[in-house]
Protein backbone atom coordinates (compact mmCIF):
# COMPACT_ATOMS: atom_id res chain seq x y z
CA UNK A 1 0.00 0.00 0.00
CA UNK A 2 2.82 2.40 0.92
CA UNK A 3 6.39 2.26 -0.41
CA UNK A 4 9.49 3.95 0.99
CA UNK A 5 12.46 4.70 -1.21
CA UNK A 6 15.74 3.44 0.20
CA UNK A 7 16.79 7.02 0.95
CA UNK A 8 13.57 7.70 2.89
CA UNK A 9 13.82 4.39 4.76
CA UNK A 10 17.39 5.10 5.87
CA UNK A 11 16.45 8.61 6.99
CA UNK A 12 13.55 7.33 9.11
CA UNK A 13 15.84 4.74 10.73
CA UNK A 14 18.47 7.39 11.41
CA UNK A 15 15.93 9.65 13.11
CA UNK A 16 14.68 6.75 15.21
CA UNK A 17 18.23 5.87 16.23
CA UNK A 18 18.69 9.35 17.68
CA UNK A 19 16.27 8.44 20.47
CA UNK A 20 13.31 10.70 19.79
CA UNK A 21 11.02 8.00 21.23
CA UNK A 22 11.56 4.87 23.31
CA UNK A 23 9.58 2.55 21.02
CA UNK A 24 9.18 4.63 17.91
CA UNK A 25 6.88 4.09 15.00
CA UNK A 26 6.22 6.36 12.07
CA UNK A 27 2.66 7.65 11.89
CA UNK A 28 1.53 8.83 8.47
CA UNK A 29 -1.74 10.69 7.95
CA UNK A 30 -3.45 12.60 5.17
CA UNK A 31 -5.59 15.66 5.80
CA UNK A 32 -7.21 18.34 3.67
CA UNK A 33 -9.18 18.24 0.46
CA UNK A 34 -8.67 15.49 -2.13
CA UNK A 35 -7.14 18.06 -4.49
CA UNK A 36 -4.74 19.70 -2.04
CA UNK A 37 -3.79 16.97 0.45
CA UNK A 38 -1.58 17.69 3.44
CA UNK A 39 0.67 14.84 4.60
CA UNK A 40 1.66 14.47 8.24
CA UNK A 41 4.65 12.30 9.24
CA UNK A 42 5.65 12.02 12.89
CA UNK A 43 7.60 9.70 15.17
CA UNK A 44 5.38 8.31 17.93
CA UNK A 45 5.56 5.68 20.66
CA UNK A 46 1.84 4.89 20.41
CA UNK A 47 0.48 1.39 20.32
CA UNK A 48 -1.72 0.81 17.26
CA UNK A 49 -5.30 1.93 17.76
CA UNK A 50 -8.39 0.02 16.69
CA UNK A 51 -8.65 2.23 13.62
CA UNK A 52 -4.99 1.88 12.61
CA UNK A 53 -3.45 -0.11 9.79
CA UNK A 54 0.04 -1.36 10.73
CA UNK A 55 2.60 -1.59 7.94
CA UNK A 56 6.23 -2.68 7.71
CA UNK A 57 8.32 0.22 6.45
CA UNK A 58 11.43 -1.95 6.14
CA UNK A 59 12.79 -2.10 9.67
CA UNK A 60 10.20 0.04 11.43
CA UNK A 61 6.45 0.09 12.03
CA UNK A 62 4.21 2.47 10.12
CA UNK A 63 0.83 3.41 11.63
CA UNK A 64 -1.86 4.75 9.33
CA UNK A 65 -5.48 5.49 10.27
CA UNK A 66 -7.98 3.78 7.96
CA UNK A 67 -9.22 6.97 6.32
CA UNK A 68 -5.66 7.97 5.45
CA UNK A 69 -4.87 4.43 4.33
CA UNK A 70 -7.46 4.59 1.57
CA UNK A 71 -5.92 7.85 0.32
CA UNK A 72 -2.34 6.59 0.53
CA UNK A 73 -2.93 3.45 -1.54
CA UNK A 74 -0.09 3.13 -4.05
CA UNK A 75 1.89 6.09 -2.67
CA UNK A 76 5.66 6.39 -2.38
CA UNK A 77 7.51 8.31 0.33
CA UNK A 78 10.87 9.77 -0.66
CA UNK A 79 13.42 12.00 1.04
CA UNK A 80 14.44 14.78 -1.30
CA UNK A 81 16.57 17.89 -1.54
CA UNK A 82 15.18 20.43 -3.96
CA UNK A 83 15.57 24.20 -4.32
CA UNK A 84 17.25 24.51 -0.95
CA UNK A 85 14.57 22.48 0.87
CA UNK A 86 15.15 19.08 2.41
CA UNK A 87 12.51 16.70 3.70
CA UNK A 88 10.08 13.88 3.12
CA UNK A 89 7.86 14.01 0.06
CA UNK A 90 4.78 11.89 -0.55
CA UNK A 91 4.17 11.02 -4.18
CA UNK A 92 0.55 9.96 -4.28
CA UNK A 93 -1.51 8.77 -7.26
CA UNK A 94 -4.61 9.69 -5.25
CA UNK A 95 -3.77 13.35 -4.88
CA UNK A 96 -4.79 16.11 -7.18
CA UNK A 97 -5.58 14.87 -10.71
CA UNK A 98 -3.10 15.67 -13.45
CA UNK A 99 -4.05 18.37 -15.91
CA UNK A 100 -6.13 17.46 -18.91
CA UNK A 101 -8.69 15.42 -16.98
CA UNK A 102 -12.40 15.51 -17.70
CA UNK A 103 -14.15 18.71 -16.73
CA UNK A 104 -16.60 18.42 -13.83
CA UNK A 105 -20.10 17.66 -15.04
CA UNK A 106 -23.62 17.96 -13.69
CA UNK A 107 -26.18 20.73 -13.13
CA UNK A 108 -24.40 22.26 -10.12
CA UNK A 109 -21.00 22.23 -11.82
CA UNK A 110 -22.47 23.82 -14.94
CA UNK A 111 -24.10 26.63 -12.98
CA UNK A 112 -20.87 27.35 -11.10
CA UNK A 113 -18.89 27.26 -14.34
CA UNK A 114 -21.21 29.84 -15.88
CA UNK A 115 -20.70 32.19 -12.93
CA UNK A 116 -16.93 31.83 -13.22
CA UNK A 117 -16.82 32.31 -16.99
CA UNK A 118 -19.43 35.04 -17.32
CA UNK A 119 -18.91 37.10 -14.17
CA UNK A 120 -15.69 36.30 -12.32
CA UNK A 121 -13.07 35.83 -15.05
CA UNK A 122 -14.02 39.00 -16.95
CA UNK A 123 -13.71 40.93 -13.67
CA UNK A 124 -10.19 39.67 -12.87
CA UNK A 125 -8.88 39.54 -16.45
CA UNK A 126 -7.61 43.12 -16.16
CA UNK A 127 -5.21 41.92 -13.44
CA UNK A 128 -4.01 38.97 -15.51
CA UNK A 129 -5.93 36.48 -13.39
CA UNK A 130 -7.96 33.46 -14.38
CA UNK A 131 -10.00 30.96 -12.36
CA UNK A 132 -10.81 27.40 -13.40
CA UNK A 133 -13.43 25.08 -11.94
CA UNK A 134 -11.51 21.91 -10.99
CA UNK A 135 -14.26 19.80 -9.46
CA UNK A 136 -17.50 19.71 -7.48
CA UNK A 137 -17.81 17.09 -4.75
CA UNK A 138 -20.80 16.87 -2.38
CA UNK A 139 -21.73 20.54 -2.93
CA UNK A 140 -18.14 21.68 -2.35
CA UNK A 141 -16.54 23.60 -5.22
CA UNK A 142 -12.80 23.26 -5.94
CA UNK A 143 -11.21 26.06 -7.95
CA UNK A 144 -7.73 26.87 -9.22
CA UNK A 145 -6.28 30.35 -9.67
CA UNK A 146 -3.77 31.04 -12.42
CA UNK A 147 -2.08 33.96 -14.15
CA UNK A 148 -1.77 37.00 -11.89
CA UNK A 149 -3.75 35.26 -9.15
CA UNK A 150 -1.31 32.37 -8.62
CA UNK A 151 1.05 33.22 -5.81
CA UNK A 152 -0.61 36.60 -5.30
CA UNK A 153 -0.60 37.85 -1.74
CA UNK A 154 -4.19 38.99 -2.21
CA UNK A 155 -5.43 35.65 -3.58
CA UNK A 156 -7.09 34.56 -0.33
CA UNK A 157 -8.79 37.93 0.06
CA UNK A 158 -9.95 37.71 -3.56
CA UNK A 159 -11.40 34.26 -2.91
CA UNK A 160 -13.25 35.17 0.27
CA UNK A 161 -14.55 38.58 -0.67
CA UNK A 162 -15.01 38.19 -4.41
CA UNK A 163 -15.15 34.73 -5.90
CA UNK A 164 -16.86 33.03 -2.97
CA UNK A 165 -19.47 35.76 -2.59
CA UNK A 166 -20.35 35.77 -6.29
CA UNK A 167 -20.65 32.00 -6.50
CA UNK A 168 -22.74 31.73 -3.33
CA UNK A 169 -25.08 34.49 -4.45
CA UNK A 170 -25.70 32.85 -7.82
CA UNK A 171 -25.65 29.22 -6.63
CA UNK A 172 -26.80 29.11 -2.99
CA UNK A 173 -26.67 25.29 -2.94
CA UNK A 174 -22.86 25.47 -2.77
CA UNK A 175 -21.78 24.42 0.72
CA UNK A 176 -18.13 25.42 0.48
CA UNK A 177 -15.39 26.65 -1.84
CA UNK A 178 -11.81 25.35 -1.71
CA UNK A 179 -8.82 26.95 -3.41
CA UNK A 180 -6.52 24.14 -4.61
CA UNK A 181 -3.98 26.44 -6.29
CA UNK A 182 -0.30 25.69 -5.75
CA UNK A 183 0.46 29.27 -4.71
CA UNK A 184 3.97 28.31 -3.62
CA UNK A 185 5.02 27.78 -7.25
CA UNK A 186 3.45 30.98 -8.54
CA UNK A 187 5.17 34.34 -8.75
CA UNK A 188 3.71 37.01 -6.50
CA UNK A 189 2.98 39.92 -8.86
CA UNK A 190 2.98 42.45 -6.02
CA UNK A 191 6.39 41.30 -4.76
CA UNK A 192 7.76 41.25 -8.32
CA UNK A 193 6.61 44.84 -8.89
CA UNK A 194 8.25 45.98 -5.66
CA UNK A 195 11.49 44.17 -6.55
CA UNK A 196 11.56 45.82 -9.98
CA UNK A 197 11.31 49.17 -8.23
CA UNK A 198 14.02 49.21 -6.21
CA UNK A 199 17.59 17.61 7.11
CA UNK A 200 14.94 17.59 9.68
CA UNK A 201 13.12 14.99 11.62
CA UNK A 202 9.73 13.79 10.35
CA UNK A 203 7.77 15.95 12.79
CA UNK A 204 9.33 19.01 11.11
CA UNK A 205 8.75 17.65 7.65
CA UNK A 206 8.35 19.27 4.27
CA UNK A 207 4.89 18.66 2.80
Transcribe the chain into DSSP letters: -EEE-HHHHHHHHHHHHTTSSSS-EEEEEEES-TTS-EEEEEEE-PPPPTTEEEEE-SSSEEEEEHHHHHHHTTEEEEEEEETTEEEEEEE-TTSSPPTTPPPP-SHHHHHHHHHIIIIIHHHHGGGTEEEEEEEEETTEEEEEEEETTTT-TTHHHHIIIIIHHHHHHH-TT--EEEE---GGGS--HHHHHHHHH----GGG---
pLDDT of residue 190: 30
pLDDT of residue 200: 52
pLDDT of residue 28: 92
Between 71 and 23, the more confident residue is: 71
**Is pLDDT above 70 for 204?**
no
193: Cα separation from own chain's centroid: 28
The structural domains of the chain, ordered by start, are: 2-91 (2.60.300.12), 107-191 (3.30.300.130)
Lowest mean pLDDT among 138-142, 155-159, 170-174: 155-159
24 — pLDDT class (breaks 50, 70, 90): confident
- Out of 22-31, 51-60, 98-107, give the one with best mean pLDDT: 51-60
pLDDT of residue 19: 63
Mind listing the pLDDT tens digit for each residue in 53-66? 999 999 899 999 99
Mind listing the pLDDT tens digit for each residue in 127-156? 667 788 888 888 888 888 766 554 555 555
Question: What is the average pLDDT value for the chain, to the nearest integer?
Answer: 75
User: pTM for the complete prediction?
Assistant: 0.51
The Cα diameter of the chain in Å comes to 59
Amino acid sequence: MLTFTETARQMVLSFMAEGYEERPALRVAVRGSPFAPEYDLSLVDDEPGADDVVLDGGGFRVLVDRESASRLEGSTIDYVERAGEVGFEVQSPNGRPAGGGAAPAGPLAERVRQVIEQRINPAIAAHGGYITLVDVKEDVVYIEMSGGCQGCGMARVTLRHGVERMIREAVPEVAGIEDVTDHASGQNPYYAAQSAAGGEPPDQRRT
